[in-house]
Structure 1
Amino acid sequence: MDAAEFRAHGHRLIDWIIDYHQQVASLPVQAQVAPGETAAKLPEHPGAPDGFDALLVDLDRVVVPGLTNWQHPGFFAWFPANTGYPAILAELVSAGLGVQGMSWASSPAVTEVETRMMDWMAELLGLPDGFRSASASGGGVIQGSASEATLTSILAARYRATGGSVNADSDTTKLVAYATGQAHSSIEKGLRIAGIGTDHVRVVPHDANFAMRPDALAEAIAADRAAGLVPFWVCATVGTTNSLAVDPVRAVGEIARQEGLWLHVDAAMAGIATLCPELRWLNDGLELADSYGTNPHKWMGVTFDCNLFYTADRASLLGALSILPEYLRTAAAETGAVIDYRDWQVPLGRRFRALKLWFTLRTDGVGPAQAMIRDHLAWTSELAAWVAADERFEILAPHPLNLLCLALRAGDDATTALIERANATGTAMFTRTVLGDRVALRFSIGARSTTLDGVRSAWRLLQDLAN
């Protein structure tokens, strides 16, 4: 493909993306294909090139039917993965530049734009000053996902708890970590990767609202210390995946400070809500956190992947992850005048992801995201009122943000069947979870294209199917 062909095909592909977004509401939300059906449309072996025209045809024939359409207005499953035109264009620029941002020297602009965007977002989210790059010990970096952010925090905490010796002896046999059963599965995965087995992961009891009980955390830490173990890391979640429960960060943070534990706050979904100043209650206690993460690629419209990871203890992070072979040494880094973000993450290589934030903030600002968040909160409240008025249904958890967990009073089997029937229609999509001993339907209002009429239609669909 030469430059002229690239120009022509690029224009056509932009048109294709626009057409997809404009017609996505007419497609099924959940992919209506059987296992292996998409692969069966592809040749078993590679053949001769057949050109861009044939490829564009197969996007529609092969790929689109096998998609679960996350940008669909009827997408009420999991949490949103919103995208927007500015971020899509930024991805194109990143790919077009083809630069590698592993260190400042490998592309100075990649590092410095990222540092500035992390500071911009810290200001827009109302985060503590200790997370800003100008602070004596903190700063931020873009990770691929909240899972990567969690693992990074665990590695930094492991380094600090062992005085750095873990880098040499790999001894994690006494380290113990804490989270509730409502915390994301990536926490257990991250701990496993870091050498903390399930036997050393304490599931802290939660209260009736599915939030961590600080008294239970303190008791668990005391018991482990008495047994000769070393409590080293605790995760407080601001917006759990199951129900968007909010752990009491301040109370957990005070215990963590007293006991010398690293406090990581996982706000992957809910943290972006603090773009709205009236929702800054979600930040209560963050000044006590050692690290924090939230995802613009969920509720803000910055295309996946884009996790904002902040730490107040840069030294422990660098101690855990910095390795400097001769081929990566630079004079600029050795003076301490620059950041080498390769030392702030597990991989070495990194894309120019900060462009997605820069493009979005420069072209759209935060106004559209703020308006969307406020709409989604208001519509969730309306939905809750509709559910409460139908005696066949009940609400299983508090709903301060944009997720409503509901169930049929007829029982778990009926609720599970309702989810399956609703998803099979192709007009809406919900996900299932378990809260306590009850199966719940998660009604997550987060897609950018969703409207109040769409929420109302999805609720009517559930009512009709419940009959």
Structure 2
Amino acid sequence: MAEHMDPDEFRRAGYAVVDWIADYWTTLGKRPVTSQDPPGAVAAALPASPPEHGEPVEAVLADLDTLITPRLTHWQHPGFFGYFPANTSGPSVLGDLVSSGLGVQGMLWATGPACTELETVMLDWLAGIMDLPERFRSTGPGGGVIQDSASSATLVATLGALHRASGGRWRAVGIDRRYRAYTSTQGHSSIEKAARIAGLGEDGVRPIEVDPETLAMRPAALRAAIEADRAAGDVPAIVVATVGTTSTTAVDPLPEIGAICAEYGVWLHVDAAYAGAAAVCPELRWSHAGLELADSYCFDPHKWLLTGFDCDAFWVADRGELIEALTVMPEFLRNAATESGAVIDYRDWQVPLGRRFRALKLWFVLRWYGVEGLRAHIRTGVALADRFARRVAADDRFELAAPHPFSLVCFRLRAGDEASAALLDRVNGTGRVHLTHTRVGGRYTLRLAVGSPLTAEEHVDEAWELLASAASDVVAG
């Protein structure tokens, strides 16, 4: 039987793994962004069963090089411009390493006091550097917690909203009336999924039309939908407004939406999964105007703030409502600290019981970069996106499809949908860059999202040159 890895063996293997990661980052720009192999290639290359006897780390690293990395989509690649960024950084990786080494299970304050308290302080730090409303700070009735993703944050907010809308009856007897959620037609798919999981049904979410120019939710349409549901005997429970929609980074008008929610007693959750990171820069905080009216808010440091997945920062204005909705106390979890009421037990702020020590990687990132380092990263992304957008606007074959306030640019060929789709296939096929698409106003639209700390002007320029060159062939052919 193989022996456990002792500290000296771990040290030697750890150096080898860190060297491997550093070499991977160093060579990323020379690799194809996406795999060219067909589905099933990795499974076919792996043995049918695990080894009978243990193998050295060197053998695993060798297989990483030959079997795994050639068949990845490299999200950290300087030419990866797809979806939204999901970037990590050296400090984040080191924080995750420490978290894994400590192996803390932070479900309760009592099971990891420092785990809980560091998380509370990190969320307060983030709230401070983003200038979030005071109601979200732990020093008042609210506070923050790390969820795995914005999808989980939306689900938790929905559960809290149902608890409030039902006067606690939701927890006692389940869904006894028709409760409704509202979001714009540009809202994330996780909102519909949260409504399904929470028991609102497939038609539990009311899609609210958007302004055709800004692609942001129309407050008048929201009011009309709420009034119609109330007239039908339904209960409006939650509105999910978006700061930085997935397709185009549109920003819903929070002041108007918040006023409507306050008027009707509806929970307002603000999903800023991608664009929330921009608020570390004072000049980009305009997108958060009206946030003081929200009951909950989230953004993903694992998208654009150099913190590896998974790390969603979620705040509530009244943590008591959330805890009432989610707490379950079996005998085996009872302890003196919890009974005292003097501590936070984050298991009551989420769906799972167990919790990793995710605050460590956030602590490492915030201390390594500092506030100015984070601002420089965000400003670089915005500037690179603006550089690309200027190139698009100057070419008569292309058009910008939406405003680009952050680091996403939406554009297309004037020649139409087929030409734009063919252009995307042609450019992604080079292996040098990777873009994704959406539809804006019903028309096929390409998306270029900047976010990797490895991306520089040369990579954005290369993306444009590939697009411009391929456009000649696509339009001509």
- TM bin, normalised by shorter chain, reads over 0.9
| Contact 2:195 2:204 survives alignment (8 Å) | no
Output aligned runs, 1:217-236, within 5 Å.
Answer: 217-236=222-241
2:16 aligned residue (12, 16, 21): 12
CA distance in 1, matches of 2:410, 2:358: 34
Q: Which runs of 5 or more residues in structure 1 are unaligned?
A: none
Code of the residue aligned with 1:367 in structure 2: it is: E
Match of 2:452 in 1: 447
Kindly indicate whether residue 218 of structure 2 is the aligned counterpart of residue 213 of structure 1. yes
The answer on 1:369 being equivalent to 2:374 is yes
| Contact 1:295–1:306 (8 Å) recurs in 2 | yes
2:356 aligned to which of 351, 359, 383: 351
Aligned to 2:148: 144
Task: Give 1:200 deviation, angstroms.
Answer: 2.3
Task: Give the deviation of 1:309 after TM superposition.
Answer: 0.2
The structural deviation recorded for 1:193 is 0.4
1:7-86 mapped onto 2 (5 Å cutoff) = 7-48=11-52, 49-86=54-91
Alignment equivalent of 1:286, drawn from 288, 291, 294: 291
* 1:297-319 Cα distance to aligned partner (Å, 9 max, x none): 11110111111000002122111
- Give the equivalent residue in structure 1 for 2:328: 323
1:194 counterpart letter in structure 2: A
Amino acid at match of 2:20: W
Q: CA RMSD in A?
A: 1.0
Structure 1 residue 310 corresponds to structure 2 residue 315 = yes
Query: Offset at 1:437?
Result: 1.1
Residue 347 of structure 2: aligned partner = 342
1:116-164 deviation per Cα after TM superposition (whole angstroms, max 9, x unaligned) = 10100100111000000001x2000000100010100000001110011
TM-score of the two chains, using structure 2 as the length reference: 0.96
Structure 1 Cα separation of the partners of residues 272 and 69 of structure 2: 32
1:426 aligns with 2:435: no
Q: Tell whether the 8 Å contact from 1:173 to 1:196 is kept in structure 2 after alignment.
A: no
Name the residue aligned to 2:188: 184
Looking at structure 1, the residues matched to 290 and 380 of structure 2 have their Cα atoms a distance apart, in angstroms, of 27
In the TM superposition, what whole-angstrom CA distance separates every residue of 1:20-51 from its partner, at most 9, and x where no partner exists?
11111111112222100011110112222332
Q: Secondary structure at the match of 1:434?
A: strand
Q: Which residue identity does 1:149 align to in structure 2? A: A
**What letter matches 2:420 in structure 1?**
T
The 8 Å contact of residues 81 and 304 in structure 1, kept in 2 or not, is answered as yes
State the SS of the aligned residue for 1:199: coil
Q: Which runs of 5+ in 2 are unaligned?
A: 473-477
The runs of at least 4 consecutive aligned structure 1 residues that moved more than 6 Å come to none
> Could you tell me which of 258, 261, 265 is aligned with 2:263?
258
Instruction: Give 3-state SS (helix, strand or coil) of 1:292's partner.
Output: strand
* CA distance, structure 2, for counterparts of residue 144 and residue 128 of structure 1: 23
Which of the residues 160, 163, 170 maps onto 2:167? 163
Please say if residues 196 and 204 of structure 2, whose CA atoms lie closer than 8 Å, have aligned partners that are also in contact. Answer: no
Structure 1 position 196, deviation (Å): 1.1
In the alignment, the residues of structure 2 paired with residue 369 and residue 423 of structure 1 have an alpha-carbon distance, to the nearest angstrom, of 30
Q: Deviations over 1:345-392 (max 9, x none)?
A: 000000100001111122221322211211221222222221111111
| Distance of 1:12 and 1:172 partners within structure 2 | 58
Alignment partners' CA distance in 2, 1:263 and 1:330: 34
2:275 corresponds, among 270, 277, 297, to 270
Quick check: 2:323–2:349 contact (8 Å CA) kept in 1? yes
- Contact kept, 8 Å, 1:396 with 1:407, in 2: the verdict is yes
1:388 to 388, 393, 400: 393
Determine if contact 1:299/1:369 at 8 Å carries over to the other structure.
no
Q: Which residue does the alignment assign to 2:418?
A: 413
1:105-144 → structure 2 map (5 Å cutoff): 105-135=110-140, 137-144=141-148
| 1:86-109 residue CA offsets vs partner (Å, 9 max, x unmatched) | 111111111101111000000100
What is the DSSP-based 3-state SS (H/G/I as helix, E as strand, rest coil) of the residue aligned with 2:203?
Answer: helix
Amino acid at match of 1:282: S
Distance 1:172 1:21 in 2: 53
Quick one: percent identity of the two aligned structures? 55
In structure 1, distance between residues paired with 2:269 and 2:41: 42
Could you tell me how far apart the structure 2 residues matched to 1:223 and 1:451 are? 50
Match of 1:141, SS state, is strand
Match of 1:238 in 2: 243
In 2, the alpha carbon distance for the partners of 1:311 and 1:268 equals 15
Residue type of the alignment partner of 2:104: V
Query: For 1:86 and 1:428, how far apart are their aligned partners in 2?
Result: 26
Of residues 385-394 and 15-24 in structure 1, the stretch that sits farther from structure 2 once superposed is 385-394
What's the CA shift for 1:259? 0.6
Distance 2:180 2:369 in 1: 44
Give the secondary structure class of the aligned counterpart of 2:86. coil
Letter in 2 for 1:202: R
2:179 to 175, 182, 200: 175
